[in-house]
Amino acid sequence: MNQAVNQPAPAAATTETAPARVNLRPLRALWPYVRRYPKLIAGWLGFLALSSASTLTLPVAVRYMIDRGFSHAQAGSIDRWFLILLAVALVLAFATAARFYCVSLLGERVIADLRRNLYDRLMRLDMAFFERTRTGELVSRLSADTELLRTVVASSMSIALRSVITVLGAATMLTVTSPRLAGFAAIGIPLVILPIVLFGRRVRGMSRNSQDRIADANARAGETLNAMHTVQSYARESHESERFAGAVENAYRAARKRVRTQATLTASVIVLVFGAIVAVLWIGAHDVIGGGMSAGTLTQFVFYAVFGAGSVGALSEVWAEVQRAGGGMARINDLLAEVPRIAAPTQPKTLPSASSAHPVGAIAFEHVRFHYPARPDTAALEDFSLTVRPGETIALVGPSGAGKSTVLQLLLRFHDPQSGSIKIDGIDLRELDPTQLRERIALVPQDPVIFGADAMENIRYGKLDASEDDVIAAARNAEAHEFLSALPEGYRSFLGEKGTRLSGGQQQRLAIARAVLKDAPILLLDEATSALDAQSERAIQQALERLMQGRTTLVIAHRLATVLRADHIVVLDHGRIVAEGTHAELVAQGGLYAELARLQFAP
Ligand code: ATP
């Protein structure tokens, strides 16, 4: 297992600009999604057959209408042929609508499933993946790429199949109608196919490139919009606008190249197709004049030729679209193929449940060595050993970058150490299901995360099935009840995106309330570094004290009150434990702690 972690992280599939070699094979991955809906597929194909048959019948009806209806000049006969024509048109209308309904629904359903599956997989990927992948790109995969596929399943595939059927049907009927003229038409076909193949290849490469540029622009925008405070406080609005404009222009340029090639492709196809039709018509007109063919037959021939040529044109457009979607699906497949490195073993062990005789929440780090995947040469923790008994409070102190947050991350098993082991209640974390492990831990981060929802929902994130009373009790415990009930709509007040409608201290108390509600035996606290006013500070201290009671607590300490209250203090520097003991012992020893205490914990 350690070996696996030691491997250099593969470059994020999503951030790479792939070579211009895109094929349609990735689209095969859509089949399992499509296969789930046999009724829609059957409906689509059935109505496609009906609509194609009626399309191909129309010219025959027209021919009889012209040849028989006009030549006999009998009102009854011409009426009958007009009625037949109308009936064929009605069947065509019905079958087309039903086909459209089935295939569109199929597309929507498939893409909804694909989106859900993709998001589901993303949720389960490990932190190393999120550290090397930009969120904006992921959002782009979820939106732009799946949208591309929706078009393909809901329309392009349908148009392609329909066009192929029409082309084949029209070709057959052309031959039946006039083998001589059909022979001329056949010479034109290779002239039409050739540019499609040649230009199609170029479009393929370009489409992936332009999608990648869009993802870049989105990622840039996402990052910036999330940091508007910083952007505006540095007055970097114009700078950011220019940077985004640069990314957008890159995307535009890539798209322009693609569109140009596509436009040329379409124009070439139309010119060639209609050139061929005009030529055939010219020959046909001479045949009619010479008496070798009836006017109705020539009309029928022209209808088939137009249908066939139109379908070839449609195919060329759809072909480019399908190729673009091939690129999108390739990127989605890359994401779907990501295997979370942090996963439950096949037979996970179960953590013991708490009882008065056996309190739970013991933690043991044994000679842990760990480096982040992005920093294979620098250990964030080196020979780190720490034993915590249930209910104990351990304060982690040390200068910035010492490795304090890393300790918490490893305990949550966001990463696995390269050597050594981490155990909870005697069980190695790697033998546990990460979900069960994390159920046992409540984290109160330095920067609390508040979702764009109301207070009730935000606190309930700690325990999804908690009743309103439980939520309110948790908020009281966290000293949050007073300010929450004073909000315009109380607990139902929307807190703004990322909790912008709350003060820093209030956000922290809300995060504490969430942890109170979770009621886990192990508590991880990353104390906020920013100073709060005395009143807020006291409220938070009281809330935390209550929360810590009876729980094993690891706290990254920035306050004197916290280190004084801890059972044990661990001093970290450059990923190693440099001293341990109580506040008094450590101060007496002098060294790094005494220095930190003088600077950081001075009352
Ligand atoms: P602070 O008090 O400033 O939060 P810390 O003691 O919590 O610091 P850590 O965040 O644990 O320090 O970081 C320990 C080392 O690991 C630092 O050198 C840091 O640069 C590095 N590091 C942290 N997170 C990552 C990451 N995701 N990828 C690569 N290196 C990282």
Contact present, 533 and 498 (Cβ < 8 Å): no
What residue's CA is closest to ligand 1, atom 1?
400
What residue's CA is closest to ligand 1, atom 10?
405
Q: In whole angstroms, give the CA distance from residue 540 to residue 542.
A: 5
User: Can you give the pLDDT at residue 29?
Assistant: 87
User: Can you give the pLDDT at residue 542?
Assistant: 80
pLDDT (tens digit, 9 = 90+) per residue, 383-403?
Answer: 999 999 998 999 999 888 889
What is the rounded average pLDDT of the residues 34-59? 90
Q: Read off the amino acid at residue 84.
A: I
What residue's CA is closest to ligand 1, atom 16?
380
What is the rounded average pLDDT of the residues 177-190? 76
Domains of the chain, residue spans: 28-336, 363-601
409 CA closest ligand 1 atom index: 11
If you measure from the C-alpha of residue 366 to the centroid of ligand 1, how many angstroms do you get, rounded to a whole number? Answer: 20
If you measure from the C-alpha of residue 139 to the centroid of ligand 1, how many angstroms do you get, rounded to a whole number? Answer: 26
Q: Which of 368, 405, 554 to mutate to test the pocket of ligand 1 (most atoms within 8 A of CB)?
A: 405
Q: Which of 404, 446, 574 to mutate to test the pocket of ligand 1 (most atoms within 8 A of CB)?
A: 404
If you measure from the C-alpha of residue 430 to the centroid of ligand 1, how many angstroms do you get, rounded to a whole number? Answer: 22
Q: Is the pLDDT of residue 182 over 90?
A: no
User: Can you give the pLDDT at residue 8?
Assistant: 34
If you measure from the C-alpha of residue 131 to the centroid of ligand 1, how many angstroms do you get, rounded to a whole number? Answer: 12
What residue's CA is closest to ligand 1, atom 26?
372
Q: Is the pLDDT of residue 563 over 50?
A: yes
Mention the CATH class of domain 363-601. alpha beta
407 CA closest ligand 1 atom index: 11
402 CA closest ligand 1 atom index: 6
If you measure from the C-alpha of residue 378 to the centroid of ligand 1, how many angstroms do you get, rounded to a whole number? Answer: 11
If you measure from the C-alpha of residue 452 to the centroid of ligand 1, how many angstroms do you get, rounded to a whole number? Answer: 28
Q: Is residue 416 very low, low, confident or very high in pLDDT (cuts 50, 70, 90)? A: very high
pLDDT (tens digit, 9 = 90+) per residue, 211-258?
Answer: 777 777 787 788 888 888 788 888 888 988 988 888 888 888 888 888
What residue's CA is closest to ligand 1, atom 18?
401
What is the rounded average pLDDT of the residues 511-521? 89
pTM: 0.73
What residue's CA is closest to ligand 1, atom 19?
401
Q: Is the pLDDT of residue 538 over 80?
A: no
Tell me, which fold does domain 28-336 have in CATH? ABC transporter transmembrane region fold (1.20.1560)
What is the rounded average pLDDT of the residues 404-424? 93
Q: Is residue 317 very low, low, confident or very high in pLDDT (cuts 50, 70, 90)? A: confident
Q: 120-128 long-range CB contacts below 8 Å, 24 or more apart? A: 121/335, 121/336, 121/338, 122/335, 124/340, 124/343, 125/338, 125/340, 126/340, 126/341, 126/342, 126/414, 126/415, 127/342, 127/409, 127/414, 127/415, 128/9, 128/341, 128/372, 128/373, 128/415
User: Can you give the pLDDT at residue 371?
Assistant: 92
Q: Which of 39-48, 168-177, 190-199, 275-284 has the highest mean pLDDT?
A: 39-48
If you measure from the C-alpha of residue 410 to the centroid of ligand 1, how many angstroms do you get, rounded to a whole number? Answer: 12
Q: What angle do CA 152, 158, 162 make, to 5 degrees?
A: 145
What residue's CA is closest to ligand 1, atom 31?
372
Residues framing ligand 1 (Cβ under 6 A): 131, 372, 374-375, 380, 398, 400-406
Q: In whole angstroms, give the CA distance from residue 40 to residue 179.
A: 38
pLDDT (tens digit, 9 = 90+) per residue, 156-181?
Answer: 888 888 888 888 888 888 888 888 88
Q: Is residue 76 very low, low, confident or very high in pLDDT (cuts 50, 70, 90)? A: low
Q: What angle do CA 144, 149, 150 make, to 5 degrees?
A: 95
Strand order in the sheet with 363-370: 381-388, 363-370, 419-424, 427-428
What is the rounded average pLDDT of the residues 505-512? 86
Q: Is the pLDDT of residue 378 over 80?
A: yes
Q: In whole angstroms, give the CA distance from residue 447 to residue 358.
A: 34
What residue's CA is closest to ligand 1, atom 25?
372
308 or 355, which is more confident = 308
What residue's CA is closest to ligand 1, atom 11?
403
